[in-house]
Structure 1
Amino acid sequence: MLIEAGFDIAFECPAPTPMILQLRIHPSRDADLLTPDRIASDPALPMRDYLDHFGNRVTRVEVPAGLVTFSDRFVIEDRGEPDETPPDVRTTPIAELPDDALLFLGPSRYCDSDKLADFAWSQFGQLPGGTRCMQAISDFVHSKIRFSYPDASPTRCASDSMHEGIGVCRDFAHLAIALCRCMNIPARYCTGYLGDIGVPVDVNPMDFSGWAEVFLDGRWWTMDARHNHPRIGRIVMGRGRDAADVAMSTAFGVANLKRFEVVTDEKVEGR
């Protein structure tokens, strides 16, 4: 399957403003690209990339005062199959986890698992752990939070989502991650493209998506509590402890968002 994806995002800055952007796909998907994943700007600005400590590709740019638009379009090859689901396995004992998975067991900015530990153990502690616990958490979060774009909040953390019962995809992911960490299952946050491929078209405007990955049976598996079923065409852009590690943009000054459009469509042959 071929997927065409990209974005047009515009900011207006009252003064020259340094920015960092996390808008390119994760290096792990580079081999699947059929056309370049390259950010262009209007006006044209010098940009350079680096890899952060999570292995994400980050772009640095100095934005002048005024309006600037960042755009990208690329075609990527995808296996065209639903997310893989883990076998029925146990939770990996802490002593057997790889060193780089330990970072994803503790609380973080938006995944305040320390506030949810008592609830998590009372709710999921009788389960055998592993895959069954992961699925029970996904089911719980899916039913607990009502999706609502108008109620999005940049400061909402996992414990807030528990009390408010409302949010967007990142809130589903943050709560699921926090609860998994409470149960000693390493979990990390992912952001990227997820089009309406193989499912009814979402009435909401296309956006970047947020989901989780959990470590079971020696590898990382997708966990998407918002949709709560395997999806096709997921294209990861960044991974981290939570959304704070993979912010779409960070401005060291004032940068007002003026335009935000995301494209993720299956590409029809010959078009």
Structure 2
Amino acid sequence: MILLLTVHHSRASDIERPDLLVSTPSVPLESYRDGFGNWCTRLVAPTGAFTVSTDGILRDAGLSDPVQTDAVQHPVEHLPAEVLSYLLPSRYCETELLGEFAWKNFSGPMSGWQRVQAVCDFVHNHVRFGYEHSRPTRTAAEAFRERVGVCRDFTHLAIALCRSLNIPTRYCTGYVSDVGQPPPYAPMDFAAWMEVYLGNQWWVFDPRNNDTRFGRVLIARGRDAADVPLTHSFGQHQLTDFAVWIDEAAEAGPSA
């Protein structure tokens, strides 16, 4: 198996207690960087029940996802070469099937940040969220037609629309906390969102939640979910349980 469960290197300086991967029963673990710079763990799972877990503590500034509403969209000819791959169609993001709709609906006077936000508003309202609608093979075009899905489907559809509009967009996985959110709190989950390239840098957009979020923890980035699955198995397996938590730690008191 290949697991992408380790906090992204961009948050390395924030780690107070490393999120070490632990397996039960214990097996040898081999770690490596993939082509996108994500930290991956490779292992051979034994026959029978097998549990993998990770837990850590990260410092966080307590700020929301950054916003810059005047961030501009760059003409394709002015984009740096390293972001061009995020304009192309990928396994789950078929820009060739959604381009006509994208240009018809999002090519008016809006540009840059406003255009991306319009895409997120559309996807957020067009797709109905429900875990019962989860299907690992659903593509952006299928999410557009079926109008149901989970966070990865929202993200794939928004990515495909943004790429169709010549905006470099990449797929992200990680933890989205409920810190700063009003109760009742929804169950925690391993989530998907996207980053778009505007104004010479990458910005977070979350079409599933489409609101202000704090304490987002990045795990991996890629073109779509095919590049950064939570787990990739090279044999038959059955997921029997899955639990996610991200909690705000209590302030440490003065030492005795």
What TM-score do you get using the length of structure 1 for normalisation?
0.90
Deviation at 1:246, TM superposition (A): 0.6
Structure 2 partner of 1:205: 187
Q: Does the CA contact (< 8 Å) of 2:178 and 2:185 recur in 1? A: no
Runs of 4+ deviating beyond 6 Å: none
Change (3 A) 1:265 1:158: same
Select the structure with the greater relative contact order (CA < 8 A; seq sep ≥ 6).
1
Change (3 A) 1:58 1:201: farther
What TM-score do you get using the length of structure 2 for normalisation?
0.95
Alignment-mate amino acid for residue 93 of structure 1: P
- For 1:103-132, what per-residue CA distance to the aligned partner results, in whole angstroms no more than 9, with x for missing partners? 100111111111000000000111332111
Match of 2:148 among 155, 160, 166: 166
Q: Secondary structure at the match of 1:211?
A: strand
Alignment-mate amino acid for residue 60 of structure 1: R
Q: Does the CA contact (< 8 Å) of 1:20 and 1:250 recur in 2? A: yes
- The 5-angstrom pairing of residues 183-198 of structure 1 reads 183-198=165-180
Q: Secondary structure at the match of 1:170?
A: helix
Match of 1:110 among 66, 76, 92: 92
1:64 equivalent in alignment to 2:52: no
Tell me the distance in 2 between the aligned counterparts of 1:104 and 1:80. Answer: 29
Q: Which has the higher strand share?
A: 1
Structure 2 partner of 1:147: 129
Q: Secondary structure at the match of 1:41?
A: strand
Structure 2 partner of 1:4: none
Question: Which moves more between the two structures, 149-158 or 83-92?
Answer: 83-92
Tell me the distance in 2 between the aligned counterparts of 1:224 and 1:72. Answer: 25
Tell me the distance in 2 between the aligned counterparts of 1:127 and 1:233. Answer: 34
Tell me the distance in 1 between the aligned counterparts of 2:186 and 2:93. Answer: 26
Q: Secondary structure at the match of 1:140?
A: helix
Show structure 1 runs of 5+ residues with no match: 1-18
Match of 2:241 among 245, 252, 259: 259
Q: Does the CA contact (< 8 Å) of 1:40 and 1:72 recur in 2? A: yes
Show structure 2 runs of 5+ residues with no match: none
- The 5-angstrom pairing of residues 72-83 of structure 1 reads 72-83=54-65
Q: Does the CA contact (< 8 Å) of 2:177 and 2:213 recur in 1? A: no
- For 1:17-58, what per-residue CA distance to the aligned partner results, in whole angstroms no more than 9, with x for missing partners? xx1101111111111000011101111111011000000000
Q: Secondary structure at the match of 2:125?
A: helix
1:232 equivalent in alignment to 2:214: yes
**Matched residues, number:** 253
